[in-house]
Amino acid sequence: MIKKFNITPDWISGFTQSDGSRLRLVINFTNIKHGIPIRPTPVFNLTQSNLESELFKEIQKYLGIGKVYKNRKNVTFVVRSIDEIVNVLLPLFDRRSLHPLRESKLESYNKFKAVVLMIKDKKHLTLEGIIQILNLSYFMNKDTSLRTEETKKILVDSIRIKYGELPEVVTPEIVLPSLSNSNLNSMNLEFVRGLIDGDGSFNVSFATKRRRITVNFTVV
Cα separation, 211 vs 179, in Å, equals: 47
Cα separation, 150 vs 152, in Å, equals: 5
pLDDT at 144: 65
SS3 137: helix
Report, in this order, helix, strand and coil percent for the chain, each rounded to 5: 45, 20, 30
pLDDT at 186: 62
- The segments of the chain whose pLDDT lies below 70 read 1-3, 19-23, 96-100, 143-144, 175-186
pTM assigned to the model: 0.84
Are 211 and 29 a contacting pair, CB within 8 Å?
A: no
**Is the domain covering 9-219 a CATH 3.10.28.10 domain?**
yes
